[in-house]
Structure 1
Amino acid sequence: MTATVLPLPLGGRPSQIGFDRLELTRILDLYGRMVAAGHWRDYAIQLGREAAVFAAFRRAAENPEFRIEKRPALRNRQGMWALVGENGTVLKRGAELGPVLAPVERRLMKLVE
């Protein structure tokens, strides 16, 4: 039996974009509050070469109500975070995650009242 040793990719672009622990904690906290309010029921995470996407669904069999996208290639231009609506329009874009999530959090406050 022979073993194949593969070199680790050093430098350059990563082969896959992902969320770090703090980012995912912030997103899942918002998701949990929206589930508790009865607004969201399912989510999906897609990790790829260009972007990491968190999609939140009202029901499992439809288009996501919101997508939270992380695109590091846009970091120095428009900001790497984007909040995309159900119809594909970019609702908010920025360099920090908190302000990008603000429209959804304001909506949550209206749901609770």
Structure 2
Amino acid sequence: MENVTPLRTPRSTGAEPQVAFTRPELDRILSLYGRMVAAGLWRDYALTFGPRTASFSGFRRTAENPEARIVKDPALRLKQGEWILYGEGGVVLKRGHDLAGVLAPLERRLVKIVEG
């Protein structure tokens, strides 16, 4: 029972490392998700991590296409910004270097719902 078997890491298998959200980024995104759920706009979400991008998708209903998709693509960090907000039809709503700026359209929509 004292045999230790090392687990394979991405470096040892030769696979590319995955892109992921940092803790503060995920906190910000999940905070928005919680407020969208409280407003009755979203009911489900999905996280996807790949070798090039990380993605958060917010759904009105589980069986639908995502209403909004927040994508982190570090390859675009020095060009248009690593953050992209896609709308329901896959249309790019906002790009930028700052997560807060990219989430602004969703935040504004949430404020309008609370006020109205």
TM over 0.5: yes
Equivalent pairs: percent with the same residue? 58
1:112 aligns with 2:114: yes
Residue number in structure 1 paired with 2:36: 34
CA deviation after TM superposition for structure 1 residue 72, in Å: 0.3
**Equivalence for 2:99:** 97
Amino acid at match of 2:42: W
Q: 1:19 is paired with a residue of what secondary structure?
A: coil
Unaligned segments of structure 2, at least 5 residues: none
In structure 2, do the counterparts of structure 1 residues 62 and 2 end up closer, same or farther at CA, with 3 Å as the change threshold? same
Give the Å deviation of 1:67: 0.2
Structure 1: distance between partners of 2:4 and 2:114: 60
Q: What do residues 21-80 of structure 1 show as CA deviations (whole Å, max 9, x unaligned)?
A: 000000000000010001100000000001000000000000000000000000001100
Q: Which amino acid aligns with 1:71?
A: D
CA distance in 2, matches of 1:41, 1:53: 17
Q: CA deviation at 1:15?
A: 1.3
The gaps in structure 1 that reach 5 residues or longer are none
1:23 is matched with which residue? 25
- What is the TM-score normalised by the length of structure 2? 0.88
Aligned amino acid, residue 113 of structure 2: L
Determine if contact 2:21/2:54 at 8 Å carries over to the other structure: yes
CA distance in 2: counterparts of 1:112 and 1:3, whole angstroms: 54
Query: Taking structure 1 as the reference length, what is the TM-score of the superposition?
Result: 0.90
Instruction: State the SS of the aligned residue for 1:33.
Output: helix
